[in-house]
Amino acid sequence: MTDSLFTPFSLRETTIPNRVMLSPMCQYSAEEGMPNEWHRVHLGTRAVGGAGVVMTEATGVERRGRITPGCLGIWSDEQAAALEPITAFVRSQGAVPAIQLAHAGRKASHAPPSEGGHALPADHADGWETISATDEPYPDEEPAATRRMDGDDVEEVIDAFAAAAERALSAGFEIAEVHAAHGYLLHQFLSPVTNDREDAYGGSFENRTRLVREVVEAVRGVWPDDKPVFVRISATDWLPDRDSWDVDDSVRLAPLLADAGADLIDVSGGGIHPDQELPNAGPGYQVPYAEAIREGTDVPVAAVGGITEPTHADALVRNGRADLVALGRELLRHPYWPLEAAHELGAEVEWPVQYRRGRFE
């Protein structure tokens, strides 16, 4: 039988009820990294709406790893405890709770988009020192100083990812995703645009990919054997006129990530530099990147990028172009999209008992 959007998907011993995944979407609503009622309702609503995987926003493994002061964190046991009732509710609705473990690197210490998104220097009341593969700050009208990481910093970051994964497990998450995309810290090591190092973490492809491989190994080392680990990557920097990370690099990286313990590659693009040349953002504009990785490596993939129509999402799975379909903005607009998509596609899905009066006849 051909797999479809509403065919269950198993990785290790974890079964995802369908192929729809809530893509990580920053909410800028936490205080000192602590989740609150907004996060409970935001994530819980998507579980009620039928998404197979409900994933948190980028969740800082260190305080200095947050993108903004309002970003979620999991560097403390208190944060993990506050996430526990959220994961319990997500599971109660039949969805699989997932967390994106993240470190923003030189793209940390920024104001939220609603306040302009500009850099917050370390001496700002809400700012802090950022770290990166380089000492070149992220380009901004008033860029904040960035410190090049030394060996101790590298070890601290690896340990922070592992500790965060342990806390995520205690909080009830079933999938851990390592964020290595969108110009954040691990991507800063991958891309020659930002990695100007001359040590074991810079220069060659092997060296530039070393940190993300070590982070995935560290997360896999504390994550149970029966639960999957995802990695989100930017398949390309969208900087064709300079030495940069591209799709061929991503195809080459994917099996190395699998060897390190990754079970699925969540494929996105861009974010390393504001001069990126964005492609025409039509429906499924990033799907070819996921398809290239799936065809070139046999590693399962999630596809993202302007996917809004149920028939389109279903075709991606039926035609073997993706194993999961990640929806971001569309699930912000339509949190019950999976239930409506199932009706349009003629698939039988379980509605919450409280909402069964709303089922389509």
Residues with catalytic function: 184
| DSSP strand pairing (324-327 vs 20-22) | parallel
Alpha-carbon torsion (313, 317, 320, 321), positive or negative: positive
End-to-end CA distance of the chain: 27
295 half-sphere exposure, CB direction, 13 A CA radius: 11
Enumerate the β-bridge partners of residue 98: 55, 175
Q: What is the DSSP string of 247-293?
A: HHHHHHHHHHHHHHT-SEEEEE---S-TT-------TTTTHHHHHHH
Q: How far apart are CA 100 and CA 124, in angstroms?
A: 27
* Phi, psi (degrees; rounded to nearest 5) at 87: -65, -35
Q: Where are the alpha helices (DSSP H) in 49-96?
A: 77-92
How long a stretch of residues is the chain? 361
- Non-local (6+) Cβ contacts of 77 within 8 A are 167, 170
Residue ranges with strand state E in the chain = 9-11, 14-16, 20-22, 53-60, 96-102, 130-132, 146-148, 175-180, 229-234, 264-268, 301-303, 324-327
| DSSP strand pairing (264-268 vs 96-102) | unpaired
Question: Considering only CA atoms, which of 110, 273, 62, 254 is closest in space to residue 183?
Answer: 273
User: Is-contact 86 42, C-beta < 8 A?
Assistant: no
